[in-house]
Amino acid sequence: MWLFTPHGFYSITRSRTEPDKTQVRARTRCDLENLQTLTSNAAPILKTLNADYRRRIIITPSESERIVTLLTRDIDYPNFKARVAMRPDQTHRGHDDHRIWELHHRWQSDDAHGSAVSAPVPRPR
């Protein structure tokens, strides 16, 4: 799962090295430090040079749930991109976040005309 937040960009997945745990991955150490400050999480930040996300923390699934809950409670803005732009440590994301917004906006525009309608994807059991 990808999470775009004012504190950073995260990818939460099942850990490959510890299958009973989850990992929160980030492109930058700063993003994970921001997350640790917000959530009081003290998991060590691991660095893996040969991975697509070089920084990560390994945590329990219940800690992942707690983190997502805290990120949701932290929403205090009516406009996400404007809130990100207010953070000096996140201003580098502004252009890219807008490009992502623009790509998704196109899907909405296509959907309004009926050309991008698709059936829901069944959940694996």
What torsion, rounded to 10 degrees, do the Cα atoms 88, 72, 122, 105 define?
Answer: -40
This prediction has a pTM of 0.82
SS3 82: helix
Alpha carbon distance 86, 73 (integer Å): 19
| pLDDT, tens digit, 9 for 90 and up, residues 29-63 | 999 999 999 999 999 999 999 999 999 999 999 99
Q: Among the listed ranges 30-39, 59-68, 76-85, which one has the minimum average pLDDT value?
A: 76-85
